[in-house]
Structure 1
Amino acid sequence: MTRAILIHGNGNSKPTDNWLPYLKKELEKLNIKVDAPQFPDTELARSSYWLPFLENELKPDENTIIVGHSSGAIAAMRYAETHRILGSALIGTYYTDLGIEAEKLSGYFDLPWKWENIKKNQKWIIQFAGVNDPWIPIEEAHVVRDQLKTDYYESKDQGHFGGDYYKETFPELLEAIKKKIGKL
């Protein structure tokens, strides 16, 4: 059975923020089991908390889709470096600490990225980026796109897909996932 894990971002984000409840409900209609837990250490989203929580508590496997928003997308990429999953959807992702102290403290950027491992450990990768994202320069998204050869979607008006650009639904993401799993 296909399963999905939804990972919110940092800064005290919750699994009830933005479009996450919508996506959970819509994926469940497709008979996909969806886990959308509150991750620990939400302010900093440190890898030393999030990756063990993902591995030991949620246990994604080769039938699991990981959907990550912002820091959740970073966690999804780092997890896929060493674990096989079905696929991932990376929303508002980046690959550097952006010169932000909290991002430096997260631990995700201490080691070089293993791009080839991330690609080979899953069948597909979807990516959504916002040209007008107030936190992530679009060049960051372009590097991830180019390194991972993602199915890339770029928005001109959705910002970081949350926060100031709050969006309760995300049909474009749902359709992209449905296309990948053959549920159109």
Structure 2
Amino acid sequence: MVFISNEILEKKSDSLFPDNEALFQSTAITVQDQQSKQRVIIVHGSAITPGIINRHWYKWLQAELVKLGFDAIAPALPDESEAKDSIWIPFLLNNLAVAENDILIGHSSGAMAILRVCEQMKVKGLILVSAGYYDHDANQLWNWNKIKTNAQWIEQFHSSDDPFTPVDSSRHIAKQVQSTYHEFNNRNHFLCTEFPDLIDVIKYRCGLL
């Protein structure tokens, strides 16, 4: 588990992996060089007003990943205002047919949803953005061990000034699943329109950096 402060990142370039950026550009490796495209599923958070999938960084990330040769999808999930596990998890497992080689990216409620998916099946990797957890219901306690073993790797992003998801909650998840944890101090709830850090992490995890 790696903690990266915002101050440290500001001393580097915009990339989380600046030393390898030139290597990526010079070798011009793309996912299309492989036998099949790597699928990436972007799971949005909940929202009071409809159409959240068209806000924030979701569609931007999808477009950037497609340019790199990934099979990236950013679907609009049903019941986006409530984000009920009873609706979202079956949708991810059955309608989207999440598979063992998929990379799942979840934001806020979407991060909680992909954690629940990973309790039930193996995936290539998880990227959690502003992830929280609730253990109010004894019947829905988290199986952290299962999540940790079902994912080949887990990356996590959080900001200490997040007004919706307490940073202690995210740190607890990081400790339980032993994620690579990136903590900032001025990113709020990551409601930005672009999120280059995610591109860097995906390139790195897929051997493109």
Q: Report if TM-score (shorter chain) is over 0.5.
A: yes
Out of 145, 161, 179, the position equivalent to 1:132 is 161
Instruction: Indicate conservation of the 8 Å contact 1:130/1:138, yes or no.
Output: yes
Which residue number corresponds to residue 60 of structure 1? 98
1:1-184 pair list within 5 angstroms: 1-12=37-48, 14-96=52-134, 110-162=139-191, 167-184=192-209
Equivalent position SS for 1:123: strand
User: Matched residues in 2 for 1:27 and 1:182: separation?
Assistant: 14
Give the CA deviation at 1:29: 1.6
Runs of 4+, deviation exceeding 3 Å: none
Structure 1 unpaired stretches of 5+? 98-103
Percent of matched pairs sharing the same residue: 36
Give the CA deviation at 1:51: 0.5
More RCO (CA 8 Å, sep 6+): 2
User: Matched residues in 2 for 1:15 and 1:182: separation?
Assistant: 28
User: Matched residues in 2 for 1:144 and 1:110: separation?
Assistant: 18
Equivalent position SS for 1:129: strand
Root-mean-square deviation (Å): 1.6
Question: Cα deviations across residues 130-169 of structure 1 (Å, max 9, x unaligned)?
Answer: 100001111001100100111111111111101xxxx111
User: Matched residues in 2 for 1:53 and 1:94: separation?
Assistant: 21
Tell me the TM-score normalized by structure 2.
0.78
Structure number, greater radius of gyration: 2
Give the CA deviation at 1:176: 1.1
Equivalent position SS for 1:118: helix
Equivalent residues, number: 171
Residue 201 of structure 2 aligns with an amino acid whose one-letter code is A
Give the CA deviation at 1:14: 2.0
Equivalent position SS for 2:53: coil
